[in-house]
Amino acid sequence: MDSKTAGPAKLNDAERRDRLRLIRSEHVGPRTFRMLLRRFGRAAAALDALPDLARRGGANAPGRICSVAEAERELEACARRGITLLAPEETGYPPHLAQIDDPPPLLAVLGSADVLARPVVAVVGSRNASGAGLKFSAALARELGEAGFVVASGLARGIDQAAHRASLGAGTVAVVAGGLDRIYPPEHEDLFAEIVARAGAVISEMPLGHTPRAHDFPRRNRLISGLAFGVVVVEAARRSGSLITARFANEQGREVFAVPGSPLDPRCAGTNDLLRQGATLVTSAADVVETLAPMLGYRGGFLAAEPDDGPAPSGEPSPSDRDNILGLLGPTPIGLDELVRLSGATPALVRTVLLELELAGRLERRSGLIALL
């Protein structure tokens, strides 16, 4: 089932377990999960199809499939810790996050799910923040809370933690890159606990026991922007992870705000660049509230619905279809629309071949483009 399609308010236990097995299986990411569920309808049917799909994609052996026992252990561990695993169509899943192209198929939530239903603004910035940046972030987060917004950030050092601490009373959401039992950085264990205790929430798409690695943080950043009506970048160097969050926000149709800084401070070079690129200038919370106020009447989703992927494929690609599409792919990324045009195949057939290649571990997606590994 597509995450943008209305569905049941609650999954049954078997479907939740099977969806967990599917997303924890090798070569299955959020986008692939969505394609599989849309094609097969139920996670159990998609799991049964994985080996054959990987074989058609050219895999010598099918990727590892998460076992029933592994999934049940994770579900039991989550239950012991008070963690809820929510699907995009379920009540309590953050409504704006459910609208992005690759929402987590099961989102781990610790704390109050109610806070996720309220309008969210993300506040992010440098880990090596200046004193002025920390002071501004705290004031901004406090004022946004007073205006009725929940503040989301990444629980990182610097700007993130300042925003979280200042918005504890009004509501804050921490999005983490590892499992909810792997707090990073470790010195924020107290902040993690206080967020949960004071009716905030901490969320992750990663399994318990997962220690965050460098490539997990950009994945985390798309969730920070996906939750929010808008993203405020307070301080960011030119190669800052906060700029990745801003890029995701642009791609997701969110508002991007930036706080101007001294041209002599490298921590402000990225935010000043954002302003040159058209981000909304922020000198106080009023700038954010004024921009977002017209959207607040659209609870449950302010973005226009994205075009549907079209009907599920009614037939399998022929060998010549596969050869044709495979021949157009290489290490240089190409867009899906261009691949459809060049191949002359239907979009449904092209997506099926790409799905097979992805499950075989032979495909990489880069910012909406496709490349062969």
Q: Give the model confidence (pLDDT) of 229-273 as tens digits.
A: 999 999 999 989 999 999 999 999 999 999 999 999 999 999 999
pLDDT, mean of residues 201-205: 98
Task: List the strands of the sheet with 280-281, edge to edge.
Answer: 84-86, 107-111, 201-204, 172-175, 150-153, 120-124, 230-233, 255-258, 280-281
Region for 59 from its dihedrals, namely left if φ exceeds 0, alpha if ψ lies in -120 to 50, beta otherwise: beta
Looking at residue 24, what is its pLDDT?
98
Looking at residue 151, what is its pLDDT?
98
| Banded model confidence at residue 297, pLDDT cuts 50, 70, 90 | low
Shortest CA distance to 124 belongs to which of 264, 251, 278, 227? Answer: 227
Q: How far apart are CA 61 and CA 57, in angstroms?
A: 11
Task: Measure CA of the first residue to CA of the last residue in the chain; give whole Å.
Answer: 29
pLDDT, mean of residues 280-301: 80
Residues 6+ positions from 228 with CB-CB distance below 8 Å = 96, 120, 121, 122, 152, 249, 254
pLDDT higher than threshold 80 for residue 347: yes
pLDDT higher than threshold 80 for residue 210: yes
Looking at residue 4, what is its pLDDT?
44
Looking at residue 371, what is its pLDDT?
86
pLDDT higher than threshold 70 for residue 193: yes
pLDDT higher than threshold 70 for residue 1: no
Global pTM value: 0.84
Residues in the chain: 373
* Tokens coding 4: 């943008």
pLDDT higher than threshold 80 for residue 138: yes
* Tokens coding 171: 């509501």
* Tokens coding 173: 């959401």
